[in-house]
Structure 1
Amino acid sequence: MKHEIKRGVSLYSYQYEVFLRKMTLDDCIAHAAGLGARGIEVLPEQSFTGFPDIPQAQVDAWFASLERHGAYPVCHDMFLDTKLHKDRKLTFDEMVASLQRDLKVAKRLGCNVLRVIVNTPPEVVVACVPLAEQLDTRMGIEVHSPFHFDHPWILRYTELTRATGSDHVGYIPDMGMYCKHYPPVFRDRFLRTGATPKIAEYIVDAFEHRMLTDYLLMDVRKMGANAVDLAMAETTRHNIWSNPKRMLEFMPWIFHIHAKFYEIDEAGVEPSIPYDEIIAVLAEGGFRGHLSSEYEGQRHIEDAFEVDGREQVRRQHVLFSRLLGEK
């Protein structure tokens, strides 16, 4: 399989270890680069103090760490706080200023891609196109479950951003919208917290058959569902299956991939997200960016098991190396 797909890691994957002070920023970069995943995606609010006014000494240390470990910056994850002081929403101009600020931070950190959080109004993104072009930093909206490429919000984004004619605005698909099977770590957590085994099994089966969440909720209520059962059923509304082939139409505007995963099991497989199908589509479409690991299983196991983000990221890159045909 011929391709130009590269491997990377979002430092979001190490959030648990970073929060508990088990890993420093340098540790995160070293671990990712040691796996051959040299493209680093950073969340400045997680990795630097004083954001958005990051001390120059920390910026210098960031670049020194990247160079030391043979890694390089790829993507900056931005967040748009739509409320100000909890009493009003940001004005349009304030949202534009927030996104422009993040574009400048991305440039300062050497990232040529900015992940735009999905709740960012497309009109705000359009207003920032001139600065993105000036800084040569591409903005990609995160197409994140339960959104997908045919969702009205994403269609509106497509309509407005394509009209700019700019090649500095596009998409960052999150692979969580290709959840083909109900994640076992979700099921097991719900069972530990009081889900009814028979109802949990019904929910998993309903997900396999793509039952609409509202109908599923009606069914489990008739089965005598408790609050935990209902919460489990509700997760099927957010975790969706959308055919990965839909990316092909949008591939010229896809800059980066959030390689979401909930677990890589001992057999080396992500049991809910079919990466064999996904990588085949990316190769077919000529994707040339990074598969950026985004481990999100920690929140579903931390009640009962020791979280090891490093091992999970390692397993995903063993999987990626095999699927990408690396020697």
Structure 2
Amino acid sequence: MSAQLPEGWTLAASAFNWSPELMVADRTSPEIAASIGASGVANVIELEAAQTWRTFPDPSDAETSSIRSALDATGTSVSIVGASLDDWLTATTRRSEDERYEFLLPQLRAAARLGAEGIRLPLGQAGPALLERLLPRLHEHGLALYEELQGQQSLDKPQNAAAVEAVAAVDDTSIRLLLDISMLMPSLPPSYLARLRAGGVDASLVDALEHDWRNPATLDAVQAALRGGTVPPPVHTLFMNLVIRFGRSDARELREILPLVGGVHLKFWDLDDTGGRISNPIREISAELATVGFTGTLCSEWGGHEWIDSLTPEQATRAHLALAREAISEGASTPVTA
């Protein structure tokens, strides 16, 4: 018998995990999305608007209806649509507030037509004025808007704290936070470290990353390598994960914002759970969320396909969902200590 989740908690999978198959392009994005439910991996999924609609950023009703039919036929429902807000008309000209608002409205309409519960934006991108302006539209469509914290977006940074406060100030359940547990990485993925070593990154720095990731001095060394130009060009983009996508926070540090959280991304990079590297953050955040009465989706999201080609998206997601279900069940039933 599979582990039981608390009432109101839904385990989902992100269609983003199938990005490698999208790049092969032998199936369309809607076909891939529908296959997630058809294959039994997950019957609740997240979609990325820019990956899903050929008519993006103004999804046509006809295309949306076709996607909805494909999903319905496989018993697949949509939890959250990752929306996109392009703030720039050209390389030097920003969209006005009216233009930013109008850019999002077709995506809201399309998400609602798919039966999604909400849309997602990066933390702070909308800004307080646009959040307030969107609120009536969210009510009209029966949607929530989730602002996502991830990676290095810790609450001790003023801009992040201000963005969270803007969400709290709206004081409406249609505006909520989404927490990506890439914020809570106790150590780095072995597969990632192996790629850095193979790519020629200084061995002493990789050793520090492997054994002392959360030490502030380690991040200082990362910044020094970037400033000094010592990161080999072939792995430079991959190296940037260290300052953007890989976080060093602790679940307890997020307690004050958890009542605002309506969704969680269970980000994973590889499947090496040695020492609970993957499962412990899931247990810890599940325990904290259970304490505040959380309800919502917890979505498996695979970031490691950027450097791992030995797993198919289906293999990686199935294995991660099984691990996550056990960890959520254990964490949510464990009392939180002060």
Q: Same fold (TM over 0.5)?
A: yes
Could you say if the C-alpha distance between residues 65 and 2 of structure 1 is closer, same or farther in structure 2, counting changes exceeding 3 Å?
closer
Q: CA deviation at 1:150?
A: 4.1
1:200 deviates by 1.3
- Structure 2: distance between partners of 1:266 and 1:175: 15
* From 142, 145, 149, the counterpart of 1:143: 149
Q: 1:256 — aligned with what? A: 263
For residue 215 of structure 2, what is the aligned residue in structure 1?
209
* Preserved contact between residue 178 and residue 244 of structure 1 (Cα < 8 Å): yes
Structure 1 pair 258–325 and aligned structure 2 pair: CA distance change class (3 A) = closer
Partner of 2:320: 316
Q: Distance in 2 between matches of 1:300 and 1:308?
A: 12
1:101 aligns with 2:113: no
Residues 234-273 of structure 1 mapped to structure 2, 5 A cutoff? 235-238=241-244, 239-265=246-272, 271=278
| Structure 2, unaligned runs of 5 or more | 331-338
Q: Which moved more, 1:76-85 or 1:16-25?
A: 16-25
Which residue does 2:334 correspond to in 1?
Answer: none
Note closer, same or farther for the CA distance 1:102–1:55 as it changes in structure 2 (3 Å cut). Answer: closer
Letter of the 2:189 counterpart: P
Q: Superposed, which structure 2 residues align to 1:14-163 within 5 Å?
A: 14-24=18-28, 25-32=30-37, 34-35=39-40, 37-118=42-123, 120-123=125-128, 124-163=130-169
Contact (CA 8 Å) 2:182, 2:267: kept in 1 or not?
yes
Structure 1 match to 2:281: 274
TM-score, scaled relative to structure 2: 0.83
Residues 175/93 of structure 1: CA separation in 2 closer, same or farther (3 Å cut)? same
Answering whether residue 180 of structure 2 is matched by residue 177 of structure 1, we say: no
Distance in 2, Cα, partners of 1:216 & 1:247: 25
SS in 2 for 1:241: coil
Measured in 1, the distance between the counterparts of 2:72 and 2:148 equals: 28
| 1:290 aligned onto 2:297 | yes
Map of 2:12 onto structure 1: 8
* Number of residue pairs matched by the alignment: 320
In percent, how many aligned pairs have the same letter? Answer: 21
> Which deviates more, 135-144 or 96-105?
96-105
Give, in whole Å, the separation in 1 of the partners of 2:38 and 2:300.
12
- Counterpart CA distance in 2 for 1:82 and 1:91 is 8
Task: State the secondary structure of the residue aligned to 2:265.
Answer: strand
> What is the distance in 1 between the residues matched to 2:170 and 2:241?
36
Superposition RMSD on alpha carbons, in Å? 3.0
Q: Which ranges of structure 1 fall in alignment gaps of 5 or more residues? A: none
Q: Distance in 1 between matches of 2:215 and 2:259?
A: 32
Give, in whole Å, the separation in 2 of the partners of 1:179 and 1:144.
Answer: 11
SS at match of 2:298: strand
1:226 partner amino acid? T
Change (3 A) 1:80 1:321: same
What per-residue deviation string (whole Å, max 9, x for no partner) do you get for residues 224-245 of structure 1? Answer: 9932399587643322211123
TM-score with structure 1 setting the length? 0.85
